[in-house]
């Protein structure tokens, strides 16, 4: 990386984890490492309020504030934001800290608190409703792409499961859904509630837990 580039300017675009790899020249394509991570997926559920009557800037401002809430909560808890796709964010915990599962759950609860504060104080009638899915397990992570375009990516069943848990919230009217592996790692500090047991083809029972709060 050129010494003339201000690291503080590019960190919001790449993230500290990727910057560290650039510094160490660790950018080989398709060389993946394995590590246990907690993956947090979050998205906005359908907006509530008279969205049809709002101006574009009001919707844009609400989305921007939502992204700020998520980014602050994730980064303050040593998370890495791997993907932003509209209002969907996929965040990896465990690349920058060993307390990854606790950090992921802490981030999720903090996000919900901040969103609630926003809804109570926002001048707009547009209210945010967000849901979170967290799954923990062994993942592959590394650089994917070509010499002209590279991205950091994580791969594994738990990345898919975190998104499944995210959108399952809607069916059970919950806010934060976690898997059994996550629950086993944080049950001494957090209150969890078993919601259901689903059969996952090729993997057996998939137990759903709601993350309720702190003990």
For the domain made up of 7-159, the CATH class stated in words is alpha beta
> Nearest 5 degrees, angle CA 8-CA 154-CA 63?
55
Residue 61 pLDDT class (50, 70, 90 cuts) = confident
Could you tell me the two tokens for 177?
Answer: 């859904």
Are 125 and 39 contacting, i.e. CB atoms less than 8 angstroms apart?
no
Per-residue pLDDT at 1 exceeds 50 = no
The predicted-structure confidence for 79-135, as pLDDT tens digits, reads as follows: 999 999 989 999 999 998 999 999 999 999 999 999 999 888 877 667 789 999 999
Contact residues for 50 (Cβ-Cβ < 8 A; gap 6+): 125
- Taking the C-alpha atoms of residue 198 and residue 10, their distance in angstroms, rounded to an integer, is 43
Q: Rounded mean pLDDT of 139-166? A: 89
Read off the pTM. Answer: 0.87
- Predicted confidence at residue 131, as pLDDT, reads 97
């Amino acid at each position: 990386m050129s010494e003339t580039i201000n690291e503080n300017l590019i960190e919001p675009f790449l993230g500290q984890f990727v910057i560290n790899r650039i510094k160490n020249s660790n950018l080989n394509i398709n060389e993946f490492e394995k590590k246990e991570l907690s993956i947090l997926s979050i998205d906005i559920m359908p907006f509530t309020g008279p969205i049809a009557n709002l101006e574009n800037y009001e919707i844009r401002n609400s989305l921007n504030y939502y992204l700020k809430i998520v980014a602050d909560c994730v980064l303050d808890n040593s998370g890495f934001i791997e993907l932003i796709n509209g209002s969907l964010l996929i965040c990896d915990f465990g690349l920058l800290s060993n307390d990854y599962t606790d950090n992921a759950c802490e981030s999720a609860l903090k996000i919900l608190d901040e969103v609630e504060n926003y809804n109570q104080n926002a001048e707009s009638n547009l209210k945010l409703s967000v849901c979170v899915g967290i799954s923990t397990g062994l993942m592959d992570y590394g650089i994917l792409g070509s010499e002209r375009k590279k991205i950091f990516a994580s791969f594994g069943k738990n990345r898919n499961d975190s998104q499944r848990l995210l959108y399952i919230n809607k069916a059970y009217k919950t806010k934060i859904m976690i898997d059994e592996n996550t629950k086993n790692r944080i049950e001494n500090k957090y209150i969890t509630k078993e919601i259901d047991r689903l059969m996952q083809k090729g993997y057996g029972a998939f137990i759903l837990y709601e993350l309720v709060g702190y003990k």
